[in-house]
Chain A
Amino acid sequence: MLYRECGQFKSTYRDDQSIFPIAQDRWALWIALAVAIFVVPTIGSDYWLGSIFIPFLIYALAALGLNLLTGYAGLLSLGTAGFMAVGAFATYNLMIRIPDLPFLVAIILGGLIAAAVGVLFGLPSLRIKGFYLAVATLAAQFTIEWVLTTFGWFTNYDASGVISAPPIEMFGYEFKSATSRYLLTLSIVVVLALAAKNMVRSSIGRSWMAIRDMDVAAEVIGIRLLRTKLLAFAISSFYCGVAGALWAFLYLGTVEPQAFDLNRSFQILFMIIIGGLGSILGSFLGAAFIVLLPILINNAAGLFGGAIPADVVSNFELVVFGSLIIFFLIVEPQGLARLWQITKEKLRMWPFPH
């Protein structure tokens, strides 16, 4: 089937405003969902589900959270992993301190606590922007890590600092197998991704993009800067907080501050740079890219039958990442999502370009 917009006349603004106005995009989404729900769990091994698909989905969720803040609202943050840690530890503490608290309620509350912390560290954003704001969010990252490792209450006075996450039970079913954890992660990520897509095409999303593109003009048409920025911090941190909780409970199975260090923040920032700033799809593409690239490089190295030492391979990984980030920053700041869009535009013209 050809990728075409023409012939699909939208006779009402309602059709034009639907979430995916082009039929082929709608189909692509349904197919992707069907594959994710039915095909992946059937053919994916436990290793692929547990060690690749689950972290991919959680990364995508965290990248989505950061993208709302940085890509849409234009507020650069290096505190992503810090907010993830808040979500993870808040959920953990809620679960062990409130008996019989349902897991879903616990992660929503954990996300809300992360949102509150995000707002707190977002306060300076009214006064500072760009590089200086990045430094302020870096302070969030370090403060949160320090608090969680210093005060034993948060880790329930566990001496090792590595706590196993309590088991997850819902509707009398224990989410233990890789498949069940994958499907639970998938459901949460899909719901939150659709919510994000809706927000960015609504007035709140337009307010974010407005303050990103020209804050004086935004203010002059009635957008309240502080509120809009703090809402971006709150919602972004909620997404990151939920991602952190999923990381601890559904991926690692342990709750540890080390999982949420500054490297993680940078990793997620790279995802949205490579995937595409200000793009929901880009968050997924970036996450997929960063999860899959090391696997590809390792497999490629494996072709040489171990002739390449492991440390060379891992350094090579860094070189590839570095070059790609420079490439995207200079050549295509809108990332993979934009490349995909260009391909689609070409397809729309095909086979008669101009």
Chain B
Amino acid sequence: MADEAGKHIGEVLLSASNISLSFGAVHALTDVSADIREHEILAIIGPNGAGKTSLLNCINGVYHPQKGTITFEGEPRADLAPSEIARQGIARTFQNVALFKGMTTLDNIMTGRNTRLGGNFLKQALYWGSYQRDELEHRVLVEKIIDFLEIQAIRKVPVGRLPYGMQKRVELGRALAAEPRLLLLDEPMAGMNVEEKEDMSRFVLDVNDEFGTTIALIEHDMGVVMDISDRVIVLDYGRKIADGTPDEVRANQAVIDAYLGVSH
């Protein structure tokens, strides 16, 4: 269990208050409030179509909720473009792998560092002096991520040719390369076999443990959720119906009715 290491769960890092998001007549989220605390692993669960992905999309600016506010690091946030939110330290992966298919594993993960490896394009065209040094420095960090995720062997392979499980791992690497404060993972273990799920769970725990990264993840596998999360929130039909420790949520009658007991 993640909490037995005696890890320190800190202040609220991000807080969504009374968020509502609809697409025409579809209410994806209705009046949802949730906090994400520093250093915790928060699981977001709920049946398909419950609004889990929509919640992540609101947090990182892909969607802007029609109502409610999002506060990050104590400051209420205006409707920003996703690129600006990324620069504030929020990274994510997608439910359907969203890698850059024509690029290699290495380049995909290097791209995760682009916000820090700027410099003007003239320096890059010359590839000389300070730019070359920067590129090398960032490469060293990216190689650490590659070692950490045990994907050295596929470093130079275009990601389009990789099996699905590996693609998910590369996508995690790309998100990690940004050294985010808050990492959002949308079904990181979907479609994986047991070993792959175990590997991925270990990576999630290690990231949380070694870098202190705050993680919010969507997951369907209850075993995994109960194992790795510090806290769980449950969505159903766009509303939050429970919020607590894995044990509390497991015992919650509304959750049992809406999700665990009833098969969708």
Partners in one complex: yes
**Contact of B83 with A195 in the complex, beta carbons under 8 Å:** no
Residue of B nearest to A12 (CB): B136
Indicate whether B203 reaches chain A with its CB closer than 8 angstroms: no
Indicate whether A207 reaches chain B with its CB closer than 8 angstroms: yes
Residue of A nearest to B92 (CB): A220
Q: How far is the CA of A225 from the CA of B111 in the complex (A)?
A: 14
Number of A-B contacts (CB under 8 A): 113
Given A203-B114, A207-B114, A214-B98: A13 and B143 interface contact (C-beta under 8 Å): yes
**Contact of A222 with B115 in the complex, beta carbons under 8 Å:** yes
Stretch among B13-21, B99-107, B207-215 lining the A interface: B99-107
Indicate whether B226 reaches chain A with its CB closer than 8 angstroms: no
Q: How far is the CB of B194 from chain A (nearest CB, A)?
A: 28
Indicate whether B157 reaches chain A with its CB closer than 8 angstroms: no
Indicate whether A212 reaches chain B with its CB closer than 8 angstroms: yes
| B residues in contact with A187, CB < 8 Å | none
Q: How far is the CA of A209 from the CA of B103 in the complex (A)?
A: 7
Stretch among B22-30, B118-126, B240-248 lining the A interface: B118-126
**Contact of A204 with B124 in the complex, beta carbons under 8 Å:** yes
Q: How far is the CA of A221 from the CA of B173 in the complex (A)?
A: 12
Q: How far is the CB of A201 from chain B (nearest CB, A)?
A: 8
| A residues in contact with B51, CB < 8 Å | none
Residue of A nearest to B90 (CB): A220
Indicate whether A296 reaches chain B with its CB closer than 8 angstroms: no
Given A17-B139, A204-B121: A217 and B99 interface contact (C-beta under 8 Å): yes
| A residues in contact with B143, CB < 8 Å | 13
Q: How far is the CB of A341 from chain B (nearest CB, A)?
A: 12
| B residues in contact with A222, CB < 8 Å | 83, 86-87, 114-115, 178
| A residues in contact with B112, CB < 8 Å | 221
**Contact of B102 with A224 in the complex, beta carbons under 8 Å:** no
Q: How far is the CA of A204 from the CA of B114 in the complex (A)?
A: 8
Q: How far is the CB of A338 from chain B (nearest CB, A)?
A: 12
Indicate whether B200 reaches chain A with its CB closer than 8 angstroms: no
Given A199-B124, A210-B111: A217 and B102 interface contact (C-beta under 8 Å): no
Given A219-B83, A220-B62, A221-B86: A202 and B99 interface contact (C-beta under 8 Å): no
Residue of B nearest to A13 (CB): B139
Indicate whether A14 reaches chain B with its CB closer than 8 angstroms: yes
Chain B 129-146 interface mask (CB, 8 Å, partner A; 1/0): 001100110011001000
Within 8 Å by CB of B136, from A13, A204, A231, A278, lies: A13
Q: How far is the CB of B59 from chain A (nearest CB, A)?
A: 11
**Contact of B174 with A221 in the complex, beta carbons under 8 Å:** yes
**Contact of A195 with B103 in the complex, beta carbons under 8 Å:** no
Q: How far is the CA of A205 from the CA of B107 in the complex (A)?
A: 10
Indicate whether B91 reaches chain A with its CB closer than 8 angstroms: yes
Q: How far is the CB of B116 from chain A (nearest CB, A)?
A: 9
**Contact of B178 with A221 in the complex, beta carbons under 8 Å:** yes
Q: How far is the CA of A89 from the CA of B98 in the complex (A)?
A: 43
**Contact of B124 with A210 in the complex, beta carbons under 8 Å:** no
Given A199-B125, A206-B114: A278 and B102 interface contact (C-beta under 8 Å): yes
**Contact of A202 with B87 in the complex, beta carbons under 8 Å:** no
**Contact of B81 with A206 in the complex, beta carbons under 8 Å:** no
Indicate whether A19 reaches chain B with its CB closer than 8 angstroms: yes
Which residues of chain A in 84-106 are interfacial with respect to chain B, using CB atoms and an 8 Å cutoff?
A: none
| A residues in contact with B118, CB < 8 Å | 203
Indicate whether B127 reaches chain A with its CB closer than 8 angstroms: yes
**Contact of B124 with A214 in the complex, beta carbons under 8 Å:** no
Which residues of chain A in 178-209 are interfacial with respect to chain B, using CB atoms and an 8 Å cutoff?
A: 195-196, 198-199, 201-207, 209
Indicate whether A139 reaches chain B with its CB closer than 8 angstroms: no
Residue of A nearest to B184 (CB): A220
Within 8 Å by CB of B126, from A198, A206, A220, lies: A198
Q: How far is the CA of A17 from the CA of B111 in the complex (A)?
A: 15
**Contact of A217 with B125 in the complex, beta carbons under 8 Å:** no
Indicate whether A235 reaches chain B with its CB closer than 8 angstroms: yes
A-B contact pairs, 28 of them (CB 8 A): A13-B139, A13-B140, A13-B143, A14-B136, A17-B136, A195-B125, A195-B126, A202-B125, A202-B135, A203-B114, A203-B135, A204-B124, A205-B124, A206-B103, A206-B110, A207-B114, A209-B107, A210-B103, A213-B103, A214-B98, A216-B62, A219-B81, A220-B62, A220-B82, A221-B114, A222-B83, A223-B115, A235-B121
Q: A13-B136, A17-B139, A218-B111 known; 4 other A-B pairs, CB under 8 Å?
A: A203-B124, A219-B83, A220-B98, A221-B114
Which B residues contact A (CB, under 8 angstroms)?
Answer: 60, 62, 81-83, 86-87, 91-92, 94, 98-103, 107, 110-115, 117-119, 121, 124-127, 131-132, 135-136, 139-140, 143, 174-175, 178
